[in-house]
Amino acid sequence: MQVEVTPEETAVLIRWKKRSDNHVLVRMKAEAVLYASEGVSISIIAKMVERTERTVLEWLAEWRATRMCSVLTGHAG
């Protein structure tokens, strides 16, 4: 499942992924969206972020619905 990410969103997601003071869930979601934007398979993304394929698919569906807000929602509160 490939998702569209603008250059501006990519820059923000990369910053979020690199920041150690961000909640780990924010970093994982940012990483998953970045991988998906490059066409990486769901199974590989799931392995990279250590989550189930179902979870990654949910994250990407949320991304399509709410974009950047989806990365900051949920347990990352």
pLDDT digits over 11-51, tens only? 999 999 999 887 999 999 999 999 999 999 999 999 999 99
Residue 2 confidence (pLDDT): 86
> Is residue 76 packed enough to be buried (19+ CB in 10 Å), middle (13-18) or exposed (0-12)?
middle
> Whole-model pTM?
0.90
Q: What are phi and psi of 56, to 5 degrees?
A: -60, -45
Residue 26 confidence (pLDDT): 93
Task: Provide the residue count of the chain.
Answer: 77
Q: For residue 42, give both structure tokens.
A: 């769901």
Instruction: Please check the confidence at residue 4 and state whether its pLDDT lies above 60.
Output: yes
> Is residue 57 packed enough to be buried (19+ CB in 10 Å), middle (13-18) or exposed (0-12)?
middle
Instruction: Please check the confidence at residue 77 and state whether its pLDDT lies above 50.
Output: no
